[in-house]
Amino acid sequence: MIKQTSVQEINGLINGSGACQVIDVREYSEFEAAKIQQAKLVPLSNFERQIEEIDRSQPVYLMCRSGNRAKQAAEKLIKRGFGDVHVIEGGMLAWESANLPTVKGASKVWSLERQVRFAAGSLVVLGVVLSLLLHQYFIALSAFVGAGLVFAAVTDTCGMAMMLAKMP
């Protein structure tokens, strides 16, 4: 069973004597932009290959931007036999909102979410422009991207984000 832990609880464990490991499943650029000092990066896009780096003898506290990717990682850990798995409620958004200690990096790389919005918006504009300049059927590109965005919202999975996460 996946347990929920508040940012205040995990901060107390980090500052106290509680044995725990914080695993951040965001992508490298997100992690470098802002992170918890004690967190270890194991990106969800590479999670299956790095799962053995996680200590099974300690409770695992999973962090992402808002909590969704952490839940996906938690399910993978439970399937692999990890017993004490927690998702940090609200992720880094909640951590930063609570004004808890954060290490800010100098990363100039856009977050994965921002990259997805840029790519989707660009494809929609491209489809409209091409349909006006070349052939009306290019509007299908815009429709396809729009349908993909609706699907991503309904299923809480994003194919474009998964593709972008695998790119250098």
* Catalytic residue IDs: 64
CA dist 119 and 139 (Å) reads: 16
The pair of structure tokens assigned to 153 is: 């919202």
Please work out, in degrees rounded to the nearest 5, the angle formed at the alpha carbon of residue 161 by the alpha carbons of 113 and 5.
65
Secondary structure element (H or E) that encloses residue 50, with its range? helix 47-50
The pair of structure tokens assigned to 13 is: 């464990």
Residues 6+ apart with CB under 8 A from 114: none
Phi/psi at 100 (5° precision): -85, 160
